[in-house]
Amino acid sequence: MTDDEALPSRGGRDVTEISPLLRLETDAHQLTQHAPLLQLSVDGFIDAGHVRGQLAEHILGTLEHRVIASFDVDQLVDYRSRRPLMTFDSDHWAGIDEPSLVLYRVLDADGQPFLFLHGVEPDYRWEGFVEAVHQVCLAFGVRRVVSAHGIPMAVPHTRPVGMTRFANQTELIGDNQVLFGKVQVPGSVEALLQLRLGEAGLETMGLAVHVPHYLADSTFGDAAVTALQALAEMTRLRVPDEALVAAAGLNRAEITEQVQASPEVGEAVAELEKRYDHFLEGQRKRSLLAAQVADLPSADEIGAEFEEFLRSAADGAEPGSDAGPAGEDSGPKS
């Protein structure tokens, strides 16, 4: 192993001393340092359609990965606000489903490394946690941070899944249809990470997938597939999606069966379809009008044309022609 492959010291301080909130694995120093991307998957305030959870399960179930560090949830989690499940077996306590917040090093299908942070959202010390993640990014050479989750929207499941993209630099998301203006929403650690890491100079970007509001508390596979494919475009990582696509197909069939079994739900979905199609038609007409307006000459062009018309009229020539007075050719004669 070369010096470039080992985790570096930062200002004379070993990387294992990044933060008292973080515990690195004993052999973490043997890992390759370079991992230019960090994907966030921290359970937060909202995740309609279980998009974040589906992505995490798929990534960790499909790609080669290993734990390189874990956060000390005993300092971060309020156990009384969300009590962990414990198992009582006959006459004794047999186990506890402990919360976790783990940093993985993952290899995509082409062997490209990236970091994946997955687990429970801290209840305490948000700024301290964010700073610890920032130090991890510095240690591993992370330059871009991405995330994805679901938000409930009044849309039908029978139409293409939409999304809201966001980034700390507008050019990172290119042509983006803005649906929301300036709003205030309850905060989350993922959102705070996006904000603070962007302020620290990293590229931060992500997407909120639009999930039908009537499926907000259920699994919506099509939203997870859409998120995975959009993340692939953002990150240039290759994550096989066949298993997720197959699971989404089964999920779609189950949703269709449930909708058909309830006339009331079917009517509600039909109304959403009508409103959705009406919205798209309005967007199409606005786009067409914008294109037509773009084809109109500018004020300067109109002014130049008018001046040319006046000059031509004064000379007695047809506007826009090259003929001289009385229609004679003003060019050289042979």
pLDDT tens digits, residue range 117-127?
Answer: 999 999 999 99
Give residue-wise pLDDT tens across range 7-17.
444 433 345 56
Cα 87 to Cα 26: distance, rounded to the nearest angstrom: 30
Q: What is the pLDDT of residue 282?
A: 76
Of 46 and 49, more confident: 49
- pTM score, two decimals? 0.79
Tell me the mean pLDDT in the region 295-311.
58
Query: In the chain, where are the structural domains located?
Result: 3-260, 262-293, 297-329
- Alpha carbon dihedral 228, 232, 234, 236, in 10-degree steps, equals 160
pLDDT digits (tens, 9 = 90+) for 241-252: 999 999 999 999
Write out pLDDT tens, residues 91-126. Answer: 999 999 999 999 999 999 999 999 999 999 999 999
At residue 71, the pLDDT reads 96
Q: What is the pLDDT of residue 289?
A: 58
Q: How confident is the model at residue 214 (pLDDT cuts 50, 70, 90)?
A: very high
Question: What pLDDT does 13 receive?
Answer: 39
Mean pLDDT of 61-84: 95
Q: Give domain 3-260's CATH superfamily.
A: PAC-like subunit (3.40.50.10900)
For residue range 144-193, what is the model confidence (pLDDT) as tens digits? 999 999 999 999 999 999 999 999 998 888 777 777 778 898 999 999 99
Query: Is residue 306 scored above 60 in pLDDT?
Result: no
